[in-house]
Amino acid sequence: MGKHAFLSASSSHRWLNCPPSARLSESYEDKSSNYAVEGTDAHAFCEYKLQLALGRPASDPTENLTYYNAETEDCANGYVAYILELVESAKQTCSHPLVLIEQRLDFSKYVEGGFGTGDCVVIADGMLYIIDYKHGEGVRVEVEGNPQLMLYALGALEMFDGVYDIDAVSMEVYQPRLENISTHTVFKESIYQWAEEVLRPTAELAYAGEGEFNCGDWCQFCRVKAECRARAEHNLELARHDFKLPPLLEDDEVEAVLEKVDGLVSWANDIKAYALQTALNGKKWSSWKLVAGRSNRRYTDDAAVAKVVSTAGYDPYERSVLSITAMEKVLGKTRFTELLGGLIEKPPGKPALVPATDKRKEITAAANDFADQN
């Protein structure tokens, strides 16, 4: 993978909603997480498998992957099957559709220095397909209105629109670990209209470090989320309720708190993590100090312990069936379903209060129906 653009497609959800965050976070180190490494490894393996399936030369990256197991293989096989099916469908209107893998897509006409890398781009007469592989299982990625895919589409249109006479763009998310396969098709004119009316002016603000700070779910991946004053002020608005007991609040006040409470908890945890890390780096807080936290006993040598206990005539081991998630990773989703599909059940989930815009079906509010879940 090459270096990211300053205003990259992958971070566009943040800088399009909060333009000044781009410059504000510029000097902060971009720390990679285990989840990011896992996602990068999955992308590399998917690229390899897809190249092979298309009859192209490719080097097996497996030995260099930190994260590789049966689940990785299963996800990649599903992704490849999905792409091949899409290509066959494209052949109905175009005898030789163009399939690009890990393609650099330049949208700098609208965003200063802007480019990104499309996981898979399929181009046929009349239709452009943008497919984005998502390996994460924590957050479901929605395709409609997704600025990352719209930027990829814009970059691909800039390169191929005149050559293939494209009419429409199909943006697609393949997220196997959440069983999320979503598509959204728009006329190409709507992409260009968005680029002129929304993207270009917002990107100009972001590049200049101007515009209004704005807090939302995009703060999750912002490098300055713990220190951002705008985010602090946004979350501290809850203090205007004086933390009265819930029954003393009006309905609209309760709903106002519900809208902010998850962000408030996330922000508070970010503050705690930031303060701890800076203390570990040597900062002295005036009213707080570093201490050794609670610790648990542990063996210094598991093998030696097992040998001693076995010699004494005892069994040092305990056995239990792997969790469903761990078992699925060991077997791979396909083999897991073949072997254990009939032995798995999914009981109703514990009731949760979510925004009315949530796509899940509403349930009845009879408290007794859920008494055994509390």
Instruction: Provide the residue ranges of all domains of the chain, joining segments of one domain with +.
Output: 12-208, 225-280
- Mean pLDDT calculated for residue range 108-137: 93
Q: Both tokens of residue 337?
A: 């379903």
User: Is residue 365 scored above 70 in pLDDT?
Assistant: no
Name the more confident of 299 and 365.
299
Run of H or E residues at 184: strand 180-187
Q: What is the pLDDT of residue 242?
A: 54
User: Is residue 161 scored above 70 in pLDDT?
Assistant: yes
C-alpha dist (Å) from residue 69 to 35, 45, 137, 176, 327:
15, 11, 16, 15, 11
DSSP calls for 82-119: HHHHHHHHHTTT-SS-EEEEEEEEE-TTTSTT-EEEEE
Q: What is the pLDDT of residue 240?
A: 63
Q: What is the pLDDT of residue 369?
A: 54
- Mean pLDDT calculated for residue range 174-178: 93
Q: What is the pLDDT of residue 2?
A: 46
Pinpoint the alpha helices (H) of the chain.
Answer: 12-17, 21-24, 34-53, 70-90, 147-164, 188-194, 200-208, 229-235, 251-280, 302-311, 324-331, 333-340
Q: What is the pLDDT of residue 330?
A: 87
Length of the chain: 374
Global pTM? 0.73
Q: How far apart are CA 228 and CA 247, in angstroms?
A: 33
Cα dihedral value 200, 201, 203, 208, nearest 10: 140
Name the more confident of 244 and 124.
124
Per-residue pLDDT tens over the stretch 38-66:
999 999 999 999 999 999 999 999 999 99
Q: What is the pLDDT of residue 262?
A: 79
Name the more confident of 188 and 357.
188
Q: May I ask the CATH architecture of the domain 12-208?
A: Alpha-Beta Complex (3.90)
Q: Give percent of the chain with pLDDT exceeding 70.
A: 93
Average pLDDT value over all residues in the chain = 87
